[in-house]
Amino acid sequence: MKQGFDHLTGPDAPRRWGRRFWHWALQMLIRILVRIDQQGVERLPEAGPVLLYYNHIHYVDPFVIVGLLRGKRYVVPIAKRELASGPIIGKWVSWFGVIYVERG
């Protein structure tokens, strides 16, 4: 039996082709549209799971974070459960492999 999030981050983690496409697309958009001062990424360990928590102030922020970490880590985002019920966003983030959490 697998423990914790090994099934998402270990050597047997699913590598969806769509994730690679979206990571690439996000990186390109970020480079074109956003000027970023990226700090602290060098502190992430090379291997093993990491919990990266941040408070975002805009809906674009999570996509920027995922785009910046492409190639450095396999990112499995978390999101509030309410996003799952959205007709378009819900399907997209579920397909992306998001882990939903109950808030409150």
Range of the domain at 16: 6-101
Contact residues for 100 (Cβ-Cβ < 8 A; gap 6+):
78, 79, 80, 81, 83, 84
Kindly state whether residue 77 falls inside one of the protein's structural domains.
Answer: yes
Q: How many domains does the chain have?
A: 1
Kindly state whether residue 1 falls inside one of the protein's structural domains.
Answer: no
pLDDT score, position 1: 43
Residue 4 has pLDDT above 80, yes or no: no
pLDDT score, position 46: 77
Contact call for residues 24 and 63 (beta carbons, < 8 A): no
Contact call for residues 67 and 26 (beta carbons, < 8 A): yes
User: How confident is residue 17, by pLDDT bands cut at 50, 70 and 90?
Assistant: low
Kindly state whether residue 57 falls inside one of the protein's structural domains.
Answer: yes
Kindly state whether residue 28 falls inside one of the protein's structural domains.
Answer: yes
Average pLDDT of 61-66? Answer: 76
Backbone angles phi, psi at 101, to 5 degrees: -130, 150
Kindly state whether residue 87 falls inside one of the protein's structural domains.
Answer: yes
Quick: pLDDT tens for 75-103.
777 888 898 888 888 887 777 778 888 98
Contact call for residues 102 and 75 (beta carbons, < 8 A): no
